[in-house]
Amino acid sequence: METKKIQLLLQQYFEGETSFEEESILEEYFSSDDIAEELLEYKEFFSGISEIRQLEGTSIEEDIMDFILEKEHQEKTRYRGLWKTVTGIAASIIIVLGSLLIYEQQKQPFKDTFTNPDEAYAYAEKTLQYISGVYETGLSPLSKSKKINDGLAELEKFNVLNEASKPIKKGIKTINKGFDITENLQKNSQLTKNE
């Protein structure tokens, strides 16, 4: 009957459904000398698990995690080194090609676009007229700003009224301060009455 119980516990163990106590029962059973012949194949497995648990300060989970982290670090450093190498090679190629292009351009003399100076003058005049037309089109909306400036000049005349009303505004500020002081005094007197 004990063999059937152990077989049931083994089945639950390999399905991941055993508790810590049930796992301890299995470890004790397989560490004893009284093991059924059909279950002898599991003895080495459970003795290995017992040895792993007896190691101080380390667990199998920590060892596995350390291994994974170490592998990730190795991959990152390998790719980082590869990236530095590739970018270095690319920069070298760009420098060499740029130098060759500059050298080739310096070897070739400057070529004129037009052989006839009259054609060059006519083309330059046509280009400047086109630019002038586009410039005028862009400035035309700004002509309305003259009207705005004239309107602002008219409003400046009202500035005299603002200057004349300054003493009145100053008096109103003083009156408002007086109202604020009396309001604060009323609040304070109500607070003292409530206490």
With a cut of 60, say whether residue 56 has pLDDT above it: no
3-state secondary structure of 97: helix
Q: Are residues 66 and 106 in the same domain?
A: yes
Q: What is the pLDDT of residue 162?
A: 67
Instruction: Give the rounded percent of residues in the chain with a pLDDT score beyond 70.
Output: 78
pTM score, two decimals?
0.30
Q: What is the pLDDT of residues 14-28, one digit of tens each?
A: 888 888 888 888 888
Q: What is the pLDDT of residues 136-148, one digit of tens each?
A: 776 666 666 667 7
Work out how many domains the chain is built from and give that number.
Answer: 3
Q: Are residues 67 and 107 in the same domain?
A: yes
Q: Residue 65 domain-assigned? A: yes
Q: What is the pLDDT of residues 79-121, one digit of tens each?
A: 888 888 899 999 999 999 999 988 888 877 767 778 888 888 8
Q: Residue 143 domain-assigned? A: no
Give the N- to C-terminal CA distance of the chain in Å, as an integer.
87
Got the DSSP string for 79-109? HHHHHHHHHHHHHHHHHHHHHHHHHHHHHSP
With a cut of 70, say whether residue 38 has pLDDT above it: yes
Domain span at residue 15 reads 2-54
3-state secondary structure of 146: helix
Q: Report d(CA 36, CA 29) in Å as an integer.
A: 10
Q: Residue 152 domain-assigned? A: no
